[in-house]
Amino acid sequence: MNSVQQPRSNVQDQVLRAIQGALREEKEPRSKRILKILTSTIALSTLVGFPFWISFRGEMNWIWNITAGFWVLYFLLGFAFYFKPQPRLMVSGLFGPFVIARMFLVSTVATIAEILICPSFVFLSSSYEWNPLSPLTERLMDVGGMSLCMGFCGFLFAFIASAIGLVSIRKAVKAVDQKSALILFSILAASQFPVFFVQVASEDLRPFVGYWVFGVINGFALAVGLKRLRS
């Protein structure tokens, strides 16, 4: 009864194409893949690095130079995972290399964008004095001082980066269980590490790093909680 050929559904087509694509990618020369990784890393680094340098060129001390190095390394790693030959199919609960890479890259870029939008959160001043959230930071400093400001900064950074990251891999996180939450948190924690480094390395920020980490955990918990509610 089942030998009769039936028309293929969309899902069948997607699976077929994804695995055929993976087999084709495996046959590609390694040099071609390395070129793709390098080109993408240079393109993304230029895209986010240029506005960063324009805005904060006066404050690029050794800490920020190392942080920039981390970000370039992150892009390199992210693209290496992304371009690894694999079936590019997003399925709920499966975190293949390209899914992890996408969340990682998106969260990292979101974090950099957040610093660009609100540099006062990491004690930077933009050359353009453009800081839409400065009234909020001033208010937080008035109410709870540096501790509250750092806690809120961690919360907001993590929440926005996680929310954007989760949206970018929404099909893979249709239902967020405990195991998925742990994987997502690890990706997010890794993407936030350069900002954590900035705080640990800066003498002014070091005493408040605990508040920032506390904020990050809560921000992530809120993003994942909202995702769980939606699903």
Partner 1 sequence: MGTELCDKSTEPSDNDLMVSYAYGNEQAFSTLFERYSSKLGSFLRYRLSQKQTHLTEEIYQKTWLKVHSARKSFDPTHRFSTWFYTIALNTLRDEVGSSYEKSVREEIDPNRSSEESNSEDRLLVKERFHQVEALLRFLSESQRTALLLADWEELESKEIAEVMKISDASARQLVSRARREIRKLYDQALVTEGARTEEKKR
List of residues contacting partner 1 (CB under 8 A): 1-3, 5-6, 8-9, 11-12, 14-16, 19-20, 22-24, 26-27, 87, 89, 91-94, 96
Of residues 138 and 177, the one with the C-beta less far from partner 1: 177
Of residues 16 and 35, the one with the C-beta less far from partner 1: 16
In this structure, how many other beta carbons lie within 10 angstroms of the beta carbon of residue 67?
A: 23
Beta strands in the chain (DSSP E): none
Of residues 9 and 65, the one with the C-beta less far from partner 1: 9
- Minimum CB separation from partner 1 for residue 77, in Å? 21
- H or E element that contains 49: helix 30-56
Which tokens go with 212? Answer: 């920032």
Of residues 17 and 206, the one with the C-beta less far from partner 1: 17
- Minimum CB separation from partner 1 for residue 166, in Å? 18
Pair 97, 55: CB distance under 8 Å: no
Terminal-to-terminal C-alpha distance of the chain: 38
Q: Which residues contact 205 (CB under 8 A, 6 or more apart)?
A: 122, 123, 150, 198, 199, 212
Task: Supply the Cα-derived Rg of the chain in whole angstroms.
Answer: 20
Of residues 14 and 45, the one with the C-beta less far from partner 1: 14
Which tokens go with 195? Answer: 């900002």
- Minimum CB separation from partner 1 for residue 66, in Å? 37
| CA–CA separation, 96 and 115 (whole Å) | 29
Of residues 3 and 65, the one with the C-beta less far from partner 1: 3
* Vertex 151 angle, CA 149 and 154, to 5°: 105
- Minimum CB separation from partner 1 for residue 2, in Å? 5
- Minimum CB separation from partner 1 for residue 179, in Å? 11
- Minimum CB separation from partner 1 for residue 107, in Å? 24
- CA within 13 Å, CB half, 78: 25
Amino acid at 56: F
